Amino acid sequence: MLHNWSFILLFATLSVLLGIATFLKRMIPLFKRYLIPVSIIAGFLGLIIGPEVLNIIKFNVKDLENIVYHLMAIGFIALALKDRPIRKGNDLPKTAFYIVSTYLIQGILGFGLTLLLFYTIFPNLFPPMGLLLPLGYGQGPGQAYSIGSSWEAKGFSFGGNIGLTIATFGYLWALIPGIIILNYLVKRNKMKVEAPKESEPIFEIEKDEAGDAPISASIDKITIQFFMIGIVYLATYITIKGLNSLLYPLGKFGETLAETLWGFQFIFGTIYAIGLRFLFNIFKKTKIMIYNYPNNYLLTRISGASFDFMVTAAICAISIRVFVANYIPILIITTLGGLVTYFFCLYLAKFAYKHYKLEYFIALYGMLTGTLSTGLALLREIDTNFTTPVAENLVLASGIALPIGFPLLLLLTVPIIGYTTNNPNLYFITLIILIAYFFLMLLFLALLRRKDRV
């Protein structure tokens, strides 16, 4: 064969799976009735026909994992390039602190459980494994795989795949208990759910935006979006590569941090994308730039497609053998993680918000066990036309939560250094910092809540 078709065939296979899943979603009453995203149906379909079960299609797992790794960053960059209005009121910052607080309670629980298991019945367990809980549940399969795979070089066997498995359990917690809880709460509160408006788009962005580059331009609009994403991702690669060259000479600490940085590529990409967006705003104000080159509609479509393919590939890449070899700690962490996330989200929604308590709870629970899309899918069942501000606040707060939670991502390197240098004190230092940061987030939430009451 003169040309390498492996990537194209993998892309085509994932496309076919998504197409079949779309058909099944429309034709099977169970799928039509319940809020199961097409990408999750496609992923499990791929897992069944893949080498782990029926072996009809021999997926290259490394290729699938690479797709998950890169599509996650592309999706985040596309979202960060979007122009968003600044909103007034306390619900937006409260939602950001709510999100980070849930990451923290998941991190404290997951890390605490793996330390307990490590020092009792599983002495061969990788101690930082539990920190994949907030990554898999709170942020999704891309982040869980990205960080887990970066730990493999430090002794965490199949870390990326375990991250994908934990994230998949998160989806199950979002969808199965989420739907049951939603129906129960709607009946208990005797809520009347509005019918969808067929005549207008639901939570959609206009395709043609004022000030856009003209259609008659010599370059297509979507090409411009990919052009910007490509520049940002190239800057991300050069930055991490440069930091690696500076960190490696610093010994074990530098090596550990350098390798972990590759798991943070989506963070660097998001920061650069926000910076580019800010630069465009300056150019517009100073009349250097006439047109709005970032197009919110197209960027939303690119990010949505990236996440659909990413979720499908992530589930297809799960190794059942890896799960079976680690099923006890995985089941303990994911089950307790799901229960604690449910009760914590329920309590925090009642505590933090004056209005739309149920809407905020179900949306944030769905997001903090699955992804933003599962949160919006659950919300749509009770806020069909997104007439409340909850959906918009959820999207905007996700971006605000990123810089608030960024120190936590840096903190992930501390227990890895503790593992590689055989210094368990760093495990407990990490746990103490997580607890302190958690109470700090609750303090900010309490202050914002008090401000609402004044």
State the DSSP string of 129-146. Answer: GGGHHIIIIII-HHHHHH
Residue in the block written with tokens 């003169």: 2
Q: Which of 202, 178, 139, 163 is nearest to 372 (CA)?
A: 139
Range of the domain at 115: 6-453
Q: Establish if 295 belongs to a structural domain.
A: yes
Q: Establish if 34 belongs to a structural domain.
A: yes
Which residues have C-beta within 8 Å of that of residue 6, sequence separation ≥ 6?
60, 63
Contacts 24+ apart (CB under 8 A), 389-393: 389/91, 389/356, 390/356, 390/359, 390/360, 390/363, 391/203, 391/363, 392/87, 393/87, 393/91, 393/92, 393/95
Region class of 425: left (phi > 0), else alpha (psi between -120 and 50), else beta: alpha
Q: Establish if 205 belongs to a structural domain.
A: yes
Q: Establish if 352 belongs to a structural domain.
A: yes
**DSSP-based three-state secondary structure for 212:** strand
Residue 242: count of CB within 10 angstroms of its CB: 10
CA pseudo-torsion sign 396, 397, 401, 403: positive
Helices (H), 81-121: 91-118
Which residues have C-beta within 8 Å of that of residue 323, sequence separation ≥ 6?
165, 330
432's tokens: 């103490």
Q: Establish if 54 belongs to a structural domain.
A: yes
Residue 27: count of CB within 10 angstroms of its CB: 9
Identity of residue 156? F
N- to C-terminal Cα separation, the chain:
72
* pLDDT string in tens for the chain (454-residue length): 567 788 889 999 999 999 999 999 888 887 777 667 788 889 989 999 998 889 899 888 889 988 988 988 898 888 788 876 655 667 888 998 999 999 999 999 999 999 999 999 999 999 999 999 999 998 878 788 888 988 988 889 889 999 989 988 998 898 788 878 877 777 776 555 554 454 444 344 445 555 555 555 577 888 999 999 999 999 999 999 999 899 888 876 777 777 778 877 877 888 899 889 889 888 888 888 777 788 888 888 898 888 889 888 888 988 888 899 899 999 999 999 999 999 999 999 988 888 888 889 998 998 899 877 778 778 877 776 667 888 778 877 877 787 788 788 778 889 998 998 899 999 999 999 999 999 999 999 999 888 776 5
3-state SS record for 345-386: HHHHHHHHCCCCHHHHHHHHHHHHHCCHHHHHHHHHCCCCCC
Q: Establish if 353 belongs to a structural domain.
A: yes
241's tokens: 């590569």
Q: What is the pTM of this model?
A: 0.77
Region class of 200: left (phi > 0), else alpha (psi between -120 and 50), else beta: beta
pLDDT of residue 386: 66
Q: Are 85 and 156 in contact (CB under 8 A)?
A: no
Q: Establish if 1 belongs to a structural domain.
A: no
pLDDT of residue 204: 43
Q: Establish if 447 belongs to a structural domain.
A: yes
Phi, psi of 292 (to 5 degrees): -90, 100
Q: Are 175 and 263 in contact (CB under 8 A)?
A: no
Q: Are 165 and 144 in contact (CB under 8 A)?
A: no
pLDDT of residue 1: 53
- Provide the number of structural domains found in the chain: 1
